[in-house]
């Protein structure tokens, strides 16, 4: 028997998977993680993709259908200022296209194995910020060339 994940978890995993696939297809030596603290466990360059918040609201007045918008943050920990800029532009171009939405579930016998089924698209809505994170010259290597990009997406239905 398969245990299905929630819609929010499916959105999170779909966005992480799409960004990781794009990075792996175009770059080498870059690790993608989904928890901020995991970024410090690996050498730079590393990209952390995580869901920041969920905003739920009624689809229409008087209707009990709830729509949700999801805010994500992508932290880039680069080796150089040039790599930081190039990775930021690359991620912006990946995100603006939206994402394939996948429904994930876990087989009850194997917690490490995920099943996935494509079920529509996640639509890109807005870039909320795209900023360099300034650090001192004596900062940890993870902080020297850091960028944070936040964006909002929605999965209809």
Pair type for strands 99-107 and 114-133: antiparallel
Interval 59-86: pLDDT, tens: 777 778 888 999 999 999 999 999 999 9
**Residue boundaries of the structural domains of the chain:** 2-154
Tokens of 100: 């394939």
Q: Alpha-carbon distance 56 to 66, whole Å?
A: 6
Asked whether 69 and 54 are in contact (CB, 8 A), the reply is yes
Q: How confident is the model at residue 157 (pLDDT cuts 50, 70, 90)?
A: low
CA angle 67, 6, 112 (to 5 degrees): 150
Class for the domain spanning 2-154: alpha beta
Interval 107-132: pLDDT, tens: 776 777 889 999 999 999 999 999 99
Residue among 131, 108, 130, 76 nearest 1 (CA): 108
Asked whether 130 and 113 are in contact (CB, 8 A), the reply is no
pTM, whole model, 2 decimals? 0.91
């Amino acid at each position: 028997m398969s245990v299905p994940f929630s819609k929010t978890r499916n959105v999170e995993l779909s966005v992480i998977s799409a960004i990781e696939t794009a990075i792996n297809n175009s770059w080498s030596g870059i690790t993608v993680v989904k928890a901020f603290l995991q970024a410090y466990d690996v050498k730079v360059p590393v990209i952390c993709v995580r869901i920041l918040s969920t905003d739920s609201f009624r689809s229409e007045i008087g209707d009990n259908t709830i729509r949700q918008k999801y805010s994500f943050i992508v932290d880039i920990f680069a080796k150089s200022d040039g790599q930081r800029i190039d990775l930021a532009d690359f991620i912006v171009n990946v995100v603006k296209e939206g994402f394939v939405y996948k429904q994930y579930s876990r087989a009850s016998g194997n917690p490490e194995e995920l099943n996935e089924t494509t079920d529509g698209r996640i639509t890109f809505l807005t870039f909320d910020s795209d900023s360099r994170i300034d650090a001192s010259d004596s900062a940890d290597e993870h902080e020297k060339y850091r960028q944070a990009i936040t964006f909002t997406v929605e999965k209809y239905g």
